[in-house]
Amino acid sequence: MAHEDLWLSKRVAAGGWIGGSGSGDADALRLLPGARLGPYEILSLLGAGGMGEVYRARDVNLGRDVALKVLPQTFSANADRIARFEREARVLAALNHPHIAAIHGLETSGDMRALVLELVEGPTLEERLSVGPVPILEAIALARQIADALEAAHDKGIVHRDLKPANIKLTSDGAVKVLDFGLAKALEPAPPSGEGDSPTLTAMHTEAGVVLGTAAYMSPEQARGQAVDKRTDIWAFGCVLYEMLAGRTAFSGTTSSDIIAAILGREPDWTPLPHDAPSGLHRLLRRCLEKDARRRLRDIGDARIELDEASAPAAPGEPRASRVGRRPLVWIGSALALGILALVLFKVMLPEDVPQADVRIHQLTELAGLEEAPALSPDGKSVAFTAAVGSTRQIFVRLLAGGPPLQVTRDPATDHLYP
């Protein structure tokens, strides 16, 4: 038996797959190797839980292996739920992205229904994290691919709603495949009228295997039973990124209720994060894990940009975490340079018969941000310099006799002008 199958068999035997409850439904539906479901021959059981059973199967018509997710028997007894699931499945099948595991189709045999899914070889991120945290650059690369997958789904109006390490596969070539996109919504009962499209906390507690497997990655609004949107995925993304870097979950507890209480009432402990992680990662995590959805990062594409910046090569000999931290030193150095220039100008303009004892240093500029490239006018009565205005640099002129600096350029394209 392969290592992965052995590990999965142990999880199933212990009743721990996806927080499974050990109910009799899984045993009642279990298919033995060699059984057929339409054109699919069952090869082995991969996992079981409240969301159904997953089998490795062989498509005898196309000669390829697939994953079959056989839905719970209680699900198949509800005609409205089946119709709703089939509608959702057709939407999900339209997703075509290299980092999203594909849905190939639906298969029905009697009262048994199954999703035909792309079979992704390799461990889950959950298995990878069982041996410790992920190195920073590797974590950034994995998070970048997860963000790509989420962005593609969000662009089509699809929210994952159950993003977690167990739903993220890692292939042998380092690629990410996100599993079960949208299935949490497709498999849940239809919400009561006026309650939005999210299951209530009570409903999630009664759905065997759902809460125990996902509580640590639920957004505050999801835990409260409020309507959710793509910002719930952004929260879960932040939880996954935190866990990759810290080697532990952002919110923990001995029971699912304890975990939810931590999500609703406590901030993550930031101290386990690597001290040499780029400061942009810390900033990204705080924005993703903002409890108020209105203040949370609004678009996963922004996370992708932040990750690209964090993975950009640092200057030779410069620590990655110091790239932002060194900017105040640059500002201080520029301010000192302007102060020295003011002293030199004062001495040049001072008549020879004036005693030197009364020389004083005056700061010429007080603008916020970095001021640099000072230049004295030919008549010696003013000094020009550049200063940051938004994302560009503009030229300012100040009379040495006094008065505020005068901005002389305002073109947004003049970010490389110097006096």
Q: Is the pLDDT of residue 9 over 90?
A: no
Q: How many CA atoms lie within 13 A of 282 on its CB side?
A: 14
Q: Are strands 392-399 and 382-389 parallel, antiparallel or unpaired?
A: antiparallel
For 242-253, what is the mean pLDDT?
96
* Amino acid present at 183: L
* Amino acid present at 80: D
pLDDT value of residue 130: 96
Let me know: does 126 contact 165? Beta carbons within 8 Å. Answer: yes
Mean pLDDT, the chain, rounded, equals 77
Domains and CATH numbers, the chain: 1-119 (3.30.200.20), 124-321 (1.10.510.10), 326-407 (no CATH)
Q: Is the pLDDT of residue 323 over 80?
A: no
Beta bridge partners of 107: 114
Q: What is the pTM of this model?
A: 0.65
Our answer to whether residue 162 is catalytic in this structure is yes
Contacts of 228 (CB under 8 A, 6+ apart): 159, 161, 196, 197, 198, 219, 221, 222
Q: Is the pLDDT of residue 201 over 60?
A: no
Q: For 334-377, what is each residue's pLDDT tens digit?
A: 555 556 665 655 565 555 554 555 556 667 676 766 677 787 77
Is residue 138 very low, low, confident or very high in pLDDT (cuts 50, 70, 90)?
A: very high
For 40-55, what is the mean pLDDT?
86
Which of these is catalytic: 25, 148, 162, 233?
162
Percent of the chain with pLDDT over 90: 42
